[in-house]
Structures are given as C-alpha cells and as structure tokens.
Amino acid sequence: MLDLFSKIEKEIKNLKEEILSKTGQIKQVEDEIKKLKEKIDTSLKAAKEKLFEIEKLKVEIETKNDLIKLKESEIKKLKDTISQKFNKIKNKEAEIEKLKKEKDLIDKEIVKKENDLKILKAELDKLIRAETGELARLKSQLNSKINEINSKKAELKNLQDKLKAAKKKYDEALLIVAEYDWWYRPETLTEHDRKILRETAEIYWNDVPGLKEKILGAEREIASLNNQISSCQNTIKQLENEKNDINRKIEIKQAQVNELKKV
C-alpha cells in the first residue's frame, strides 16, 4: 500500500515537472510567435504551424492536469484506506490486549485448578493407601482366621480319634459282660447290643473286678469328648462365619479400592 502511494506521488511529481517543461515550451513558442508577428514577412504557414503546436500543448497540459487531479483523488482514497487500516490495527491491538488479559486470567485459573487437583490427588492417594492398608489388614485377619480354623479342625480330628479310642475301650468293657452273660462273644457291637450289655453290666459290678470303673470311666470319657467335640464344632462353625464375614468385608473393600484407583 505504501509502495503504491509512493509510486503515485512520483508520477505526480513527474507530471508537474513535465507541465513546467511544457509551460516553458509554450513560453518559448509564444516568444517565437511574437517574433514572427514582428516579422510580417514570416511565412503565415509557419505561424499557423506554431499556433497549432501551441494548441496541442495546451490540450496536453489540460490532459495532464486532469491526470494530476485523478492521481490526487487516488492518493486521497489511499490515505483514507491507510487511515482505516491503521484504525483496524488499533482495534486489533486492543482486542489482542483484551485476549491477553483473558488468557492471563485463564492461566491463573488453570494453575489454581492444577493445585486443587494436586491436593485432591494427594488426598486420594492417602485414601487409597489407607484403604489398601485396611484391605491388607483384613486379608491378614482372614489368614489368621483360616489358620485358627485349620488348628481347630486338627483339634477336632484329634478329639474324634480319642472318641473312637474311648468307644473302643467302652466296647471292650461291654464285651467282658458278654463273656459272662452271653453264650458267645460278638465281633462288633450294635447300639442295641450296647444297650442290653450296659443294663446287664450292673449285675456284674461286684463279680468282675474293675468292670464298673472301666465302664463308667469310658462313659465319662466319651461324654467329655462328645462335649469337647460339640464345643469344637461350634467354635469351627463360628470361625467359619467370621471368616465369611471377613471375606465379604474384603470383597467390599477391594471394590472400593478398585473404584478409587479408577478416579
């Protein structure tokens, strides 16, 4: 735009210089005409030619003047256009400043949000660690409970083995009665046999040394072992319930930890 402006100004300058040159030429021609008029004997044809030349130069001058006016009009338009462009530039600069301020505010908000996010992340990490620690504690508690159950099951098996041995001793004591009261010695005893022999045993309390102590001792041992087994079974059942309760807590806690890790 500025180059065009400079170019037009240069053209106007050249035209003005050309007009000055033409004006000088006119003056020169007019001087020549004057001289020709003073010389009556000068050829009329030459005078007319000079006059024609003058008229031609006048036309050229008028044309150049019109061209100058046109160029001046173009320059004015260019100046107006340049002024408008400068105004637009100022408006854009003001808009840029406004956008910069808005950007600064957004940057500050981003920094604040990032700080808030860091705080939330730290709190979340702390919560995850706490929940993970609680989960580990529950799993450790579960393992302890499983070990306790296994220990009780081993204890139950030992009691059951003792009960089996006590029943064997009881049956052996009852078989002593069978040897005295029955005509045969059975290989194994049914519950009915045991009932009959137990009722009969009291008849031989005084006849068979140690019979009473063996039978009553075996009965006491069996009763005690049955109580211990029942207690042990109840304990195992309670421990199993506690284990299941811990398992449910672990499932819930694991789901909570998984959800927290998704955040």
Q: At 25, list the tokens.
A: 């030429």
| 78 in the same domain as 30 | yes
Q: How many domains does the chain divide into? A: 2
Per DSSP, 40 falls in state T
Q: Which amino acid is at 93?
A: E
Question: Which pLDDT score, from 0 to 100, does residue 86 have?
Answer: 67
d(CA 59, CA 41) in angstroms, rounded, equals 29
| 170 in the same domain as 102 | no
| 257 in the same domain as 169 | yes
On whether the CB atoms of residues 177 and 204 are closer than 8 A, the answer is: yes
Tokens 């009915």 -> residue: 192
143-187: pLDDT as tens digits: 999 999 999 999 999 999 999 999 999 999 999 999 888 877 787
Given 117, 152, 181, the domain boundary residue is 117
Question: Which pLDDT score, from 0 to 100, does residue 56 have?
Answer: 75
Q: At 233, list the tokens.
A: 């079974």
The CB-based long-range contact list for 116-125 (8 Å cut-off, 24+ gap) reads 124/260, 124/263
| 248 in the same domain as 161 | yes
In-domain check, residue 126 = no
| 66 in the same domain as 175 | no
pTM for the whole thing?
0.52
In-domain check, residue 179 = yes
In-domain check, residue 122 = no
d(CA 126, CA 40) in angstroms, rounded, equals 123
SS3 assignment, position 185: coil
Question: Which pLDDT score, from 0 to 100, does residue 197 have?
Answer: 95
Question: Which pLDDT score, from 0 to 100, does residue 110 have?
Answer: 81
Given 57, 84, 117, the domain boundary residue is 117
Question: Which pLDDT score, from 0 to 100, does residue 167 have?
Answer: 96
Q: Which of 171, 162, 152, 259 is nearest to 215 (CA)?
A: 171
Query: How many CA atoms lie within 13 Å of 19's alpha carbon, on the beta-carbon side?
Result: 15
| 85 in the same domain as 159 | no
Handedness of CA 111, 117, 118, 119 (dihedral sign): positive
Question: Which pLDDT score, from 0 to 100, does residue 183 have?
Answer: 74
Q: Which residues of the chain have pLDDT under 70?
A: 1-2, 33, 36, 40-44, 46-47, 49, 51-54, 57, 61, 65, 68, 71-72, 75, 78, 82, 86
- Domain span including residue 49: 2-117
